[in-house]
Structure 1
Amino acid sequence: MDQEGQYPLTQEFQKILLSSAPSTLVSAIDAGNISSKSGTFSASDESTFDLDPQVFDKWVPFLRTSVENKNLESATDELCSSVDDNFDGLETQLLQDAKLNDKLKNSIGQISKIQDIIDNSLLQEVNDLQENLTYSTNEVIMKKQAYVSNKKTSLKISEATILITKVLQILELSNKCQELIVEADFFKALQNLDSLEKIYLQDFKNYNFQFLKEIYDSIPFLKSAIKDECINKIKNSFNVNLGKNLSHVGEATFNVYSKELVPEWLEKKDTMKLGIFKFNSPVEISLRNESTLEKINLESFFHLNEFHDSILIFQSLNQQPYLISEFTKEYNFRKTKLIDPLLWKKSQKQTSNGNLDISSDPFAQQLNLESFKAYFLKLLGFLLYDINLNKSTDFILANNNYNSTNEFWDGLLKRLEPYLKYFLNEKLKSEQELVEFKDFMGIYISILENFKVNIEPLYNILISVFGSYCQLNILELQKEFEILLNDDDFMPLTINDRTLYEKVLKICWIKEDEITKIQESAMKQNGEFIVTLPFSPLYPMTYTLLKKTYSKLVHFIGSYYRHELHTLSNTLVKTMDTIFSKVINEKIRGKLDTTSREEIAQILVNLDYFVIAAKEFSALMSKENIMQNPAMEIKLSSIRSYAESRKYAETKLIQLIDSKVSDILETVELDWQASTARNDPDISIVDIAQFLEMMFSSTLVNLPYSVQTLLIFREFDSLTSQFLEILLHGTPTHLSQESVHNFEVDMKYLESIIPRIFPTTEDESSRNVGEIQSPLTVNSPSINGFGRSINSIENNIKSLQATFTELKQCIELLKNNNFEEYADPEVRPRKYPRVRPEDANLLIRKVQQSRMHTTSSLEEENNLLPYDDSQRDGSSSRIAKFFNRH
């Protein structure tokens, strides 16, 4: 195995020797320096056999290997034997070459000599090599020992270097932490402290480095300083954000809404015809300009980096509850300062009804519209700050209370509620102030609603504002109406300006048939335009005032009132009902205490139109109801009030006319003992007739037809009853036939004026063309099916003439010389059906006495008066029922 292992090495060595030997040997042979006999060589020979250093370098590895393996001799032997092998066959070749043979012969000695030289040289070199190898080995061993020693030293130096580096790192972290704390970069300072603490615990915990221990011991102090500085930074942030900046934020946000969003919406509303939608409705919000909304981005108003850092720091310190506690204490303190001069908790005196007495409170006394706005804009800024703070910190500082803003706001409003009511009731006195306050609160509530803040308490105040506005408008309308009422002439309205006439027709509601009559009467005029309307100027002016007030009330709630529409609708209806009934109706009813028939008659006409106005307003409010409910029906209760006042006016007018007729009748003096018959009525009877004719044809001409008819029938019935009473009980015990004749002339004259009071169509054409009749009301004959036609007028005339029937029958009984007719059962029901037996007995006795029949027996009277009560009742009940007599 050893030979096999060495053979390739020796073979390689042989090749190298063979490749280097020829040139050396040839040069030596050619020079003749080799002596085959002596076996010695000279100095020149020595130089001849010097090996080329490069050739020797090729030998060295093989020789060193042989030396190290201690087989140099065997290697030499193998080299010799290999020469034989390598030069095997060469001999034959050489023998064939004579010249070469000669040279070989001459070279054999030289070769032997060379072999000796080689052997000696190699031996010497091997020895030198061994010596050098021994020296080198010893030197390597020494150097290795020095290396190991140096390596331990280097390792210690490296360890010392690392340790020094970490010490420097700790010192650097400590210094950096100090700098970061000074620069208020607390989170990075805390990170450095954590790194410092970790390095110390990992690498220096077991080292007794006093300065490092002091640095480590300072870590809790530095962390405490960081916590304190974080809290101070939060306080400083409050100083910046919760100062004047709040008012700026509130004003800026409010101005964006009031000066940009609202005008933009009003323009879009008109352009896109979105009349039913209001500001801050979903439709309005969806149409808002995004560039406008960017102006109220809360992040541009408030910078909250210190809160984010503090949360991260205290979370890292695992002391978040402490941060929340300290933040809450400071924040509550800031809230208390925010609402100054209003105190968060304060005991107040209560009035007898349980309400808080704030009349002497300084905060309430100093409130005005400007200070109120400034105060609430500051509150708005805080609410926006609170919303942004909670949202940006994910409600961590609010201890995960997602309703914290509303809780604060509700508590504050509960505290502010009495002041708001006091301010509304005591400070806002004018209509302009209420409108300004409403606009401010409407926009304010819209902002709160968009930021999800509870608006219910403030919206209730806004509803109360509408109630106050309604009350103020009621008072204003009452003042204006009193002026109109006192200035009214209670005469039909005469207009000689067509433009004004058309305006009145447009303002006031009048039935179509009445408008046609008015237009016809206006067209009949020649020359100058003139027309007379049945109502007085009070009606159109009041109606205009009503429409104006209603429009103001609707406009007042048109923009910002989006909730509790049923409450607003009820308030609106109640207000208009109050105006119609409590203001207009009661004031007009108070005028009925006058003694002027003309005024009462005109008031009655006006009341008819006010009934129409109330009905039309009911229809208008139903159609335009603020709840946008097409099925909603509104009916003002004042309609019934006007109807009652109308009845009261009729009663008052009847009483006045009855009183006047009674006064005139007291002046009538009839001569019942007259001896001369006359064909003309007595002057007092003429006065009565003229009074009645004038009253019904002029004074009461504009009354509703039903009222005219009622008054006419009532007055003539009363008049005939009173004359019958005079005839029966106001005459002496005996009457002359001339006085009976004269009395008949007087009654016929009174009866003759009836057709003039109820004119026919031809007669009406001769009347004042400017006069028209008032609209037919529910009680009018026209509505009950008895229109004012020629037939109805003729029927009314006949019915009215029937009121004289009893009186005429009594007169006929006095004039008749045959008194037995009344006693005749066949004649009496036909000629004297309305004359009661006791009245007939009384009248006959008066005539008999006047004819000097001074005596008569009871039996004769009984024979003359064969009657019973049933016959009298049957003949008179029909007419009594017709005239509604009971």
Structure 2
Amino acid sequence: MDQEGQPLLSKEFQQVLLATASGNNSSWTERTVSNNESTDAVKHDLTLGQNEVFDLDPLSFDKWVPFLRNTLDKNQLDPVIDELENSVEDNFQGLELQLLQDSQINDKLETSIDEIANIQDMVQDTLSSEISKFQMKLSESANELIVKKQMYVNNKKISLKISEATILITKVVRILELSSRCQELITERKFFKVLQNLDSLEKLYLQEFKNYNFQFLIEIYNSIPFLQKVTKDECINLIRNSLNSNLGKNLIKVGQEFMAIYENELLPQWLETRTKMKLTNFKFNSPVEISMRDETSLAKLNLNEFFQLDDFHDSIMIFQSLNELNSLSSEFSKEYELRKTKLLYPLIWKKNKTVTYQMNSLLRGTGASPGVAGHDASSDDVFTQSLSLPFLQDYFLKILGFLLYDINLNKATEFTLVNNDYNSTNEFWDGLMDRLSPYLKYFIDEKLETETDMIKFKDFLCLCVAILENFKLNIEPLYKILVSIFEKFCSVSLRAFNDEFQILLNDDDFMPLSINDKTLYDKVLKICWMKEDEHLHLPDPTSEEPFSVILPFSPLYPMTCTLAKKTYSRITAFLSIFYRHELHTLNNILIKAMDDIFNDIVNKKIRSKLESTSREEIAQILINLDYFIIAAKEFSNFMTRENILQNSDMEIQLSSIKHLAESRKLAETKLIELIDSKISDILETIEIDWQTREIRQDPDISIIDLAQFLEMMFASTLQNLPYSVQTLLIFREFDSLTRQFMDILLHDTPSIITHESIINFEIDINYLKGIIPRIFPSTPGIIDSNGYQSPMTPSTPTFPNANSVDAPTLFENNIKSLEATFMELKQCIELLKAQGKGYNEPEIRLRKYSRIRKEDAALLLSKIERSATSKDGANNDDNSTMDSSSIFNPESANGTDSNASRIAKFFNRS
């Protein structure tokens, strides 16, 4: 029973036990378990089944297993056994006594005991016999076992040795296979695998056969260094073969491919985009252009598609695993240097320093460029003899291909072959340009002649520069060559300008430009730079009269302006697409070129024309120079606005403006000298009769000729001169004229002059004075006070100073100022006519004779002494005029030059 008083044996288990005990008699079992039947019944049953009491069915015990297992799982086996014993005692109590009291059973028990005894003896005998046999068999078996065990041990030793021999043979075979495989791989040029197999072979031998004295294995092992050397040699040969395939004609193809993509795809795409988006300020290969490139075109520029470098990777891995990268680098450098030398032929890559120094010294002595051997037809320098545009293009394509190959090789091998020199390509390129630059400069200076070739060569090199710049190579040396090409282009453009300008100058008629076509007139106005305050009086468009305009300058001016603009456009177009660097240098070259056009060509050639003795030609040259100064100034402003530096704060002023102004002054001086010379020549023809006793009513014929000359000259020859120049010349000439008449009166007259001659002289001077209003430039289209129409044509440019509201006042003031030049001469005539009366009185002298110097008055009065005042009066008059001064120059009134300076100062001219 358990702690809770519940039976540990279930009813079902008890039935199984009873059934087993009764020989599977279920009725008995049930009666026994129920304890409801009498002892007699039990006895009866036992009697009936006495032969079966001890017959236990093994299968019945199997029924106990689940219950016993359950009991074991619950750890209740001991209580169950105790309960079973108690149950036996409870259920079979008294049964033993009953059985002993039964006679039949007792008899059977006795009989059974005897039988059991016999059986026991038989069993003992049988067992003894069996044990003896078993012992004999066991001894035999033990002996057999020992023998077999000994055989097994022997066999096991043999088997182990066989296994060891098998393993050894397998390893030997493996070594033989590795050795054989190495040979095959060398033949197949799979050198890295060769090295791997050799490494495996070496490790296998050292681990397994180092202590064995197998001669053939020793020989195989000793062959490893040889195979390694063969592998290294084959790798070097492989690199040589790779260089042969990549550095042959393939380089030019690579250069051509890159150049074609840049020239035929990237450049046209950019030019189209730049036009559409109005990005004219941005050049090709600028960051803006690069950012807008077509990815399809860029994909074609993958260097890995052009060069095969697998052999280099294998070689590097092989030598790296052998720890001999330095050896590979050394061998590669030697081979690469040979390739460079062959590649650069006919350029000599390396020269003896002493020879180079001597050659450069010799070339400097002959004026040749340093570094270039003998630039002449007999030169032994093959490269110099080969110089031509096609040759240089092919040469640069080859160099470009090599540079791209070198860049790709170094990057692909992580600069292993060049000992981590990340600037190796640039160093080679810089060294090459050092050698090549003198030849290129010589080619540009001596062989690059036409503008077409210059543009072609420039475009080619600019594309090379763009490619090199994109691959981070130094473009400065090559860009300097491009600057030299630009300088040469400017020089050739200047020569072309010079030739055309010389033709224009020779064909120019040095006459004002007459235009009868309105369309042509509009074109001329667009081409030429005019004065800011210049106004052209055009014919009335409603008039039926034909269109006719006369411009002050000659045809040379508009044609030169056109030529200058075309030259400038051509030069700037040369720079417009590619040139992005050193813009200050390029701008200075451009400014110098335009300065040379206006100074060295236009100014100097026009200045040479000033040797002419034609007043009309000199006058027209002066007018042209006046406009060329305007053109130079306006061109300076134009270049300032359109400067290639794109700098709005920059100001450009051509120095030729100053030189043109100097030439203009020279032209003025030359014109004055010619007019002075002509007037002097005319004055030399004038003969005044100072002894006459007759009074003329009209001026002398020579005076009339002089007046007509002056009228004609200022009305026609000088009519188109600038207003200020005309005024200056008129003042200058009349001042000179009055001075010369003063000299005649003072020094070319006899000692005694008649009163009649003085009156005739006054008539001549008054006639000359009277032409002043007719020759002085007045407002065009206005009739002056004398009824004289201004000689200027209706189309003649006029200026505010001459055409403003105050023009009549200005005209009157100029007339009065010009007439004042006759004041001194007029006072001398009055002094002679009055025979010096009143001269000694200060008031009269200051009022009537303020311009006459004391010594001049004394000289004049001495010439009429006999018929005039006394000598003493003359002396008094002389003293009274000592402090007289000129109205224009208080300091001095002497000389033609001083008067010209005074008049120039009066009109604010330097």
- TM band (smaller chain): 0.7 to 0.9
Q: What is aligned with 1:745?
A: 763
Shift of 1:604: 0.9
Q: 2:737 aligns with which of 716, 719, 723?
A: 719
Determine the structure 1 residue equivalent to 2:80: none
Alpha-carbon displacement from aligned partner over 1:504-542 (angstroms, at most 9, x marks no partner): 22222223431xx21555658643222222211111111
Structure 2 CA distance for partners of 1:272 and 1:92, relative to 1, 3 Å: farther
Q: 2:370 aligns with which of 327, 350, 355?
A: 355
Residue in structure 2 matched with residue 622 of structure 1 by the alignment: 640
The counterpart of 2:837, out of the listed 791, 797, 820, is 820
Report if the CA contact (8 A) 2:537-2:794 is conserved: no
Q: Post-superposition shift, 1:381?
A: 1.0
Q: Distance in 2 between matches of 1:723 and 1:427?
A: 67
Encode CA deviations 1:527-562: one digit per residue, 9 max, x unaligned.
Answer: 322222221111111112112222222222222222
Q: Is the 8 A contact 1:406 1:454 kept in 2?
A: yes
Determine if the alignment matches structure 1 residue 679 to structure 2 residue 689: no
Partners of 1:401 and 1:698 in 2: CA distance: 82
Counterpart secondary structure, 2:268: helix
Task: Determine the C-alpha separation between the residues in 2 that align with 1:808 and 1:744.
Answer: 8
Number of matched residues? 797
For 1:763, what is the secondary structure of its paired residue? coil
**Residue 607 (structure 2) pairs with residue 597 (structure 1):** no
Q: Deviations over 1:454-498 (max 9, x none)?
A: 222111111111111111111111111111111111112222222
- Counterpart of 2:876 in structure 1 is 866
* Partner-residue secondary structure (3-state), 2:422: coil
After superposing the two structures, state which structure 1 stretch, 736-745 or 612-621, moved more: 736-745
Compute the displacement of 1:397 (Å).
0.9
User: Structure 2 CA distance, aligned partners of 1:521 and 1:726?
Assistant: 48
Indicate the residue corresponding to 1:323 in structure 2: 328
What whole-Å deviation, never above 9, does each CA across 1:364-389 have from its counterpart, x for those lacking one? 11210010010111111111111111
Query: Separation in 1 of the partners of 2:531 and 2:862?
Result: 59
Q: CA shift at 1:709, angstroms?
A: 1.0
Q: SS of the residue aligned with 2:533?
A: helix
Rounded to whole Å, the distance in 2 between the matches of 1:775 and 1:417 is 57
Q: Is the 8 A contact 2:505 2:556 kept in 1?
A: yes
Equivalent positions of 1:567-716 (< 5 A) are 567-716=585-734
Decide whether the 8 Å contact of 2:537 with 2:795 is kept in 1: no
The structure-2 alpha-carbon separation of the partners of 1:554 and 1:100, relative to structure 1 and needing over 3 Å to count, comes to farther
- Which amino acid is the alignment partner of residue 287 of structure 2? P
2:434 to 414, 420, 444: 414
The C-alpha deviation readout for 1:594-650, integer Å capped at 9, x for no partner, is: 111111111111111111111122222222222222222222111111111111000
Counterpart Cα distance in 2 of 1:522 and 1:578: 42
1:474-623 map, 5 Å: 474-514=494-534, 517-518=535-536, 520=538, 526-623=544-641
Contact 1:829 1:875 in 2 (8 A): no
Measure how far apart 1:578 and its partner are: 1.6
Q: Tell me how far apart the structure 2 counterparts of residues 661 and 148 of structure 1 sit (CA, whole Å).
A: 155
Given the superposition, is the C-alpha separation of residues 640 and 137 from structure 1 closer, same or farther in structure 2, using an over 3 Å criterion? same
Letter matched to residue 135 of structure 1: E
Matched residue, 1:45? none
- Aligned-partner residue type, residue 383 of structure 1: L
* CA distance, structure 2, for counterparts of residue 440 and residue 838 of structure 1: 83
Q: Deviations over 1:169-212 (max 9, x none)?
A: 11111111110000000110111011111111111122222221
The code of the aligned residue for 1:165 comes to T
Change (3 A) 1:833 1:173: same
Preserved contact between residue 629 and residue 657 of structure 2 (Cα < 8 Å): yes
Go from structure 1 to structure 2 and tell me whether the alpha carbon gap of 1:91 and 1:262 turns closer, same or farther (over 3 Å shift).
same
Pick one of 203, 207, 210 that aligns with 1:202. Answer: 207
Identity of counterpart residues, as a percentage? Answer: 60
Select 1:373's aligned residue among 375, 386, 393: 393
Structure 1 contact 358–419 (Cα < 8 Å) conserved: no
Over 3 Å counting, the alpha-carbon distance change for 1:839 and 1:510 in structure 2 is same
CA distance in 2 between partners of 1:782 and 1:342 (Å):
70
Alignment gaps of 5+ in structure 1 = 1-18, 24-53, 56-84
Secondary structure, aligned partner of 1:560: coil
**Counterpart in 2 of 1:44?**
none
Measured in 2, the distance between the counterparts of 1:150 and 1:461 equals 93
Judge conservation of contact 1:428–1:434 (CA < 8 Å) in 2: yes
Distance 1:869 1:396 in 2: 109
**482-491 vs 734-743, greater mean Cα deviation:** 734-743
Question: 1:253–1:374: structure 2 CA closer, same or farther, 3 Å change rule?
Answer: same
The answer to whether the aligner puts 1:333 opposite 2:348 as a matched pair is no
With normalisation by structure 1, the TM-score equals 0.83
Q: CA deviation at 1:699?
A: 1.3
Letter in 1 for 2:474: N
Compute the displacement of 1:140 (Å).
Answer: 2.5
- Which residue of the partner structure matches residue 791 of structure 1? 809
Distance 1:355 1:174 in 2: 61
Mapped contact 2:619–2:721 kept (Cα < 8 A): yes
- Residues 1:259 and 1:813: Cα distance change in structure 2 (over 3 Å): same
Query: What is the alpha-carbon distance in structure 1 between the residues aligned to residue 776 and residue 511 of structure 2?
Result: 22
SS class of match (1:274)? coil
The equivalences for 1:431-442 within 5 A come to: 431-442=451-462
Query: How far, CA to CA, are the matches of 1:299 and 1:645 in structure 2?
Result: 66
Matched, 1:279 2:255: no
- Rounded to whole Å, the distance in 2 between the matches of 1:551 and 1:528 is 36
Asked whether the 8 Å contact 1:569–1:626 carries over to 2, the reply is yes
Distance of 1:470 and 1:716 partners within structure 2: 49
**Structure 1 stretch 138-147 or stretch 789-798: which is displaced more?**
138-147
Distance change >3 Å, CA 323–CA 876, structure 1 → 2: closer
- For residues 385-443 of structure 1, the C-alpha deviation after alignment (integer angstroms, 9 at most, x for no partner) is 11111111111111222221122222222111221111111110111111111111111
Residue 262 of structure 2 is aligned to residue 257 of structure 1? yes
Matched, 1:187 2:197: no
Q: Following the alignment from structure 2 to structure 1, what is the Cα–Cα distance between the partners of residues 880 and 602?
A: 52
Aligned-partner Cα distance in 1 for 2:540–2:302: 67
How far residue 112 of structure 1 moved from its aligned partner, in angstroms, is 6.0
Could you tell me which amino acid in structure 1 is paired with residue 664 of structure 2?
R
Is the 8 Å Cα contact of residues 720 and 792 (structure 2) preserved in structure 1? no
Q: How does 1:295-306 map to 2 (within 5 A)?
A: 295-306=300-311
Residues 299-358 of structure 1 show CA distances to partners (whole Å, capped at 9, x for unaligned) of 111111111111111122222222111111111111111111111233352221583443
Alpha-carbon offset, residue 141 of structure 1? 2.5
Q: Where do 1:69-148 residues align within 5 Å?
A: 118-148=123-153
CA 109–294 in structure 1, closer or farther in 2 if over 3 Å, else same: same
Aligned residue number for residue 9 of structure 1: none
Higher mean alpha-carbon deviation, 321-330 vs 156-165, is at 321-330
Distance in 2 (CA, whole Å) between partners of 1:372 and 1:629 is 36
After TM superposition, give the deviation of residue 132 of structure 1 in Å: 3.6
Instruction: Specify the SS of the correspondent of 2:648.
Output: coil
Counterpart AA for 1:649: A
Given that residues 178 and 201 in structure 2 are in contact (C-alpha distance below 8 angstroms), is that contact kept between their aligned partners in structure 1? Answer: yes
My pick for the range that moved more, 211-220 or 874-883, is: 874-883
In the alignment, which residue of structure 2 is the partner of 1:364?
Answer: 384
Secondary structure at the counterpart of residue 211 of structure 2: coil
**814 and 102 in structure 1: CA distance in 2 versus 1, 3 angstrom threshold:** same
CA distance in 2, matches of 1:768, 1:692: 13
